[in-house]
Amino acid sequence: MSSDLMIPIATVPGESAVPRPARAFPWPKGPLRDWLLAWPLPLVLLAAWALAAHFEWVAPQVLPAPEAVLVTLKESLLSGELWANLQISLLRVLAGFAIGLAGGLALGVAMGLSPTVKDYVYPSFNVFAQVPVLGWLPLLMLLVGIDEALKVILISKAALVPIALNTCKGIHGVPTRHIEVARVLKFTRWQMLSRVVFPAALAPIWNGVRYGLTHAWLALVVVELLASSEGLGFMIVYGRQLFQLDVVLAAVAVVGAVGYALDKLLALVERRLLAWRREAF
């Protein structure tokens, strides 16, 4: 082995250095590495699914082959059925998320800035947050029926809770030294909020927004599974009722892909919003 491939190991003074071979092909770092590491598990699962379907380890009526699901997905897209249901689901989740975002930010800011508001509101809000979306379903069905209002309210609740909690925690987590410097500079209250508090709390607040959208998307699917005649959740229920598991798996794949795409979209926005933090540090 040539000497240019030997790298000495750091040793304690007085001990001899033991050379070790350098890696001829160093493992890539950064986004490429993350991308490469993300693929093996899905490919293994897909291969296992294909083998199970090919050798009929599971009955085809229970586990259709991947190619059958792809054919169903293509036919649903060409017929417009999948796109129509996807549009309905997206409109529902955007409406509920918008309401939850506005309410969560307002409530989180109020609890974060005012100890009095937090003392009065947070205990009740914490109890409200502990009840899952499905826990409110029977009551809301009696109050508002099973139309769009039910779905929007439940989606709003799912989004509101993480947004409010993360906003409150983000404001409480603003470093005290930042506040003290702003007071020395005699900032007004608005300057304190716009130049110190909100920029410092932006990262946790945006995390809450991402969690809120994720929870809203999950709540949408659950609500559509139980009380809907349209949407992706309805496609899953419809396919199960007719024992068309290829339709079920195609809808599930779209649900996962859309949820992943929405989260990645917010991640891109986050990188742009917080670019000034990376430049500052």
pLDDT at 8 over 70: no
CA–CA separation, 268 vs 59, rounded Å?
Answer: 42
pLDDT at 3 over 80: no
Question: Which residues in 36-50 are b (16+ Cβ under 10 Å) and which e?
Answer: eeeeeeeeeeeeebe
Q: Taking every pair of C-alpha atoms in the chain, what is the biggest distance, in angstroms?
A: 81
Nearest to residue 154, comparing CAs of 100, 228, 209, 210? Answer: 100
Q: Residue 238 contacts by C-beta under 8 Å, 6 or more apart in sequence?
A: 247
As a whole number, the mean pLDDT across the chain is 83
Q: Residue 166 contacts by C-beta under 8 Å, 6 or more apart in sequence?
A: 108, 204, 205, 207, 208, 209, 211
Q: Residue 46 contacts by C-beta under 8 Å, 6 or more apart in sequence?
A: 66
Q: How far is CA 115 from CA 102, 139, 181, 261, 277, in A?
A: 21, 32, 22, 38, 28
State the pLDDT at residue 106. 96
| Model confidence pLDDT, tens digit, residues 109-140 | 999 999 999 999 999 999 999 988 888 888 88
Long-range contacts of 252-260 (CB under 8 A, 24+ apart): 253/69, 253/73, 254/73, 254/82, 254/86, 255/217, 255/221, 258/86, 258/89, 258/90, 258/217, 258/232, 259/214, 259/217, 259/218
Cβ pair 172, 185 in contact under 8 A: no
Task: Please report, for the chain, the start and end positions of each structural domain, with discontinuous segments joined by +.
Answer: 66-170+205-276
Q: Residue 167 contacts by C-beta under 8 Å, 6 or more apart in sequence?
A: 104, 105, 107, 108, 109, 112, 201, 204, 205, 208
Residue 182's pLDDT band, with cuts at 50, 70 and 90, is confident
The three-point CA angle 131-135-139 to 5° equals 120
- Kindly report the backbone phi and psi dihedral angles of residue 244, in degrees, each rounded to the nearest multiple of 5, phi listed first: -105, 85
- Output the CATH code of domain 66-170+205-276: 1.10.3720
Q: How many residues does the chain have?
A: 281
pTM, two decimals, is 0.79
| Model confidence pLDDT, tens digit, residues 43-83 | 888 888 888 888 878 777 788 888 888 998 999 888 888 89
